[in-house]
Structure 1
């Protein structure tokens, strides 16, 4: 049924006596959908828009976008409507082996089950589902997911409707790909290529953001700045490949030492930092000693031991701006290096207050 330039399929229209042509109004509706989907949006917004349009254009209230987990040969419900959220969020579908969706992801071909109760591929997910139409999301012959639409009515997807859904799925695939690609680019722009940690740009953005949050909610925040002791000697003696191994090893140790809210960054050659939101200076000191202990136990190439020089600063006592806080932690770290390294520095410059004021 075509109403006001929008292709709809209401409950009353599902047992239709007239064909469902891709008419002038339907094409206009798809053009509108294209404009909507191809606006700059993050992936979650794109997925939400896709399902909104499935409901708006076709009237189906049970629908989902299924994407690869990226870790195994399985799919997950990246977005859904009409499902129990707890169940939907736990579903993992093995490609090629589980259900209609797994079959479509394996074959790259649309699949229609007019009566799911007798369909050989169907796996029951909801007792109210009577028919199901699943369409692969394809970019350059690569399957990037599945658009799944289900109905509580038998044989509820006429052939012309299937064609329009397939056309819509092609647009949806493009929108998903663009959003994923944009997120990948943004991630790369904020990630250190060698270690996978936040890079210099991401570090300063995070420090500004977390410090602003600490001020807003009157919470503590601590900053650790650290360097590998005698790292130049490691490179000169063992070569840059071993130096890179040392950097990656330290990054991994930072990763297991951090909480999910903490931000570990590499902002220079062997210069690292750890932002600790909601952490007092005393608690940050404990984190620092735990980190140093783990680094001492680590061996590059099975035998080369590393040590760290670290400096600690905390908000608000050591600084109230990102530059001031970093200056104090950096100063404390270099004081330790001057003393031979392998330690934690807490000493602030005598003009710390002036530094803080100058950068306020």
Structure 2
């Protein structure tokens, strides 16, 4: 079993084939991409015409896939429908390092193949990537460039290897195999595989771009930590898991003391270095499964599943010790005030629990800074009004309304407004489902639904939820 292959198509055979391109994230398919090449003697072949029709049908499905993992499965399923095969491998390319790494394998030797990285300088697959040319080899095991995957047997096989190229960059390679002495791929199948490879490459490029944009939307660019939106999303998940398993949950909220003074006196570049240092200190101290977020400014938070109050206090103290050990030039030693809150003891929803941790952090600052304070409802203080008791849950509700107001002010579509209301309420109330209606006379017209109607998760049209006032 070689899992690489040989013969090369004639030079220039790919000219005019790649007619897919991406414009501003949108896919444009030029009409002649799926049209039979002028003068092709096979143009009247009904089998070929049907193959091209099938190819056109699957293009939309592949290009519409959103998730990168789901796209790989879709590519594998689709090429198997278009071209009968025995095994296949999809590779991801790192053009900087000039290597191909397997990302999806359908083969009895999947473990061996997945553990083998291929250089652009070795094997038929590497040759195809380096020369940016597809390969058809009906006797791959005899090709002088073949490279056998360690741990797999040497067996006769036919191979089509298609380098996946989008926007001038190698995205990966698609290898499809037939096993046995008398097997072969036809020229028509080779042509279909190449044209399908164009769509697969563009789909991979689009999926990678979406994944990168989603990552940027969920992370803080300065520290690389998750941002505040991920904090509330993950805190909701942790609270739900804690409620299900009855395991403790701790939230740490940290704020760098006198950070404004550092920015004002030493400049924002120095302040940014302190923020990055604290982010690295947190990564080094907390467990890999803990969720670290930068909420904004000099404020950070850590979600620790299965962690009680005493363990959380020890983690916070280790952070303070780490910071105290470093003498920053011109600044001295950095300190942080830390507030702790436990769920669901102190709060049953993300907004309330976060507000409790923040109140404890403010109490730490009011008590002289560089403190670790566990939330207690009857002893919260703030630096600006140390003698005034605050209703933490009212503050949480107010923040939720402020957040929701900000989102709604940016929306015009009624359904989007309804979806924003349902999503924001979920951070405050752990509901089974939420339905948002607008009234039209006596009628209540549904505009948004979030959650499950029953144990059956089959999606239902919103129109079925239409009702009337008083019913």
Aligned-residue offset at 1:129:
5.0
Give yes or no for the alignment of 1:123 onto 2:151. Answer: no
> Taking structure 1 as reference, are residues 132 and 47 closer, same or farther at Cα in structure 2, changes over 3 Å only?
same
Q: Deviations over 1:211-250 (max 9, x none)?
A: 1121122221110000111111211222111111111111
- The aligned counterpart of 1:3 is none
TM-score, normalising length: structure 1: 0.87
SS in 2 for 1:267: strand
2 CA distance for matches of 1:31 and 1:314? Answer: 55
> Is residue 331–residue 348 contact of structure 1 (8 Å, CA) maintained in 2?
no
2 CA distance for matches of 1:39 and 1:82? Answer: 27
Give yes or no for the alignment of 1:212 onto 2:234. Answer: no
Aligned-residue offset at 1:21:
7.7
Aligned-CA RMSD value: 2.6
Matches within 5 A, 1:85-124: 85-94=110-119, 96-124=120-148
> Is residue 265–residue 272 contact of structure 1 (8 Å, CA) maintained in 2?
yes
Aligned-residue offset at 1:75:
2.3
- The aligned counterpart of 1:183 is 211
Q: 1:132 aligns with which of 142, 159, 162?
A: 159
Aligned-residue offset at 1:197:
0.8
> Is residue 245–residue 300 contact of structure 1 (8 Å, CA) maintained in 2?
no
SS in 2 for 1:38: helix
* Higher gyration radius (CA): 2
Matches within 5 A, 1:246-261: 246-261=274-289
Q: 2:260 aligns with which of 218, 228, 232?
A: 232
> Is residue 21–residue 160 contact of structure 1 (8 Å, CA) maintained in 2?
no
Aligned-residue offset at 1:330:
0.8
- The aligned counterpart of 1:16 is none
Give yes or no for the alignment of 1:51 onto 2:76. Answer: yes
Q: Deviations over 1:76-97 (max 9, x none)?
A: 1111111433223322222x22
Q: Deviations over 1:42-65 (max 9, x none)?
A: 011110011111222111121111
- The aligned counterpart of 1:84 is 109
Give structure 1 stretches of 5+ with no counterpart.
1-18
Give structure 2 stretches of 5+ with no counterpart.
1-43, 381-389, 398-427, 430-471
SS in 2 for 1:210: helix
> Is residue 250–residue 343 contact of structure 2 (8 Å, CA) maintained in 1?
yes
1 CA distance for matches of 2:66 and 2:320? Answer: 42
SS in 1 for 2:208: helix
2 CA distance for matches of 1:298 and 1:100? Answer: 54
TM-score, normalising length: structure 2: 0.67
Comparing 61-70 with 247-256, greater Cα deviation is found at: 61-70
Aligned-residue offset at 1:278:
1.7
- The aligned counterpart of 1:272 is 300
- The aligned counterpart of 1:141 is 168
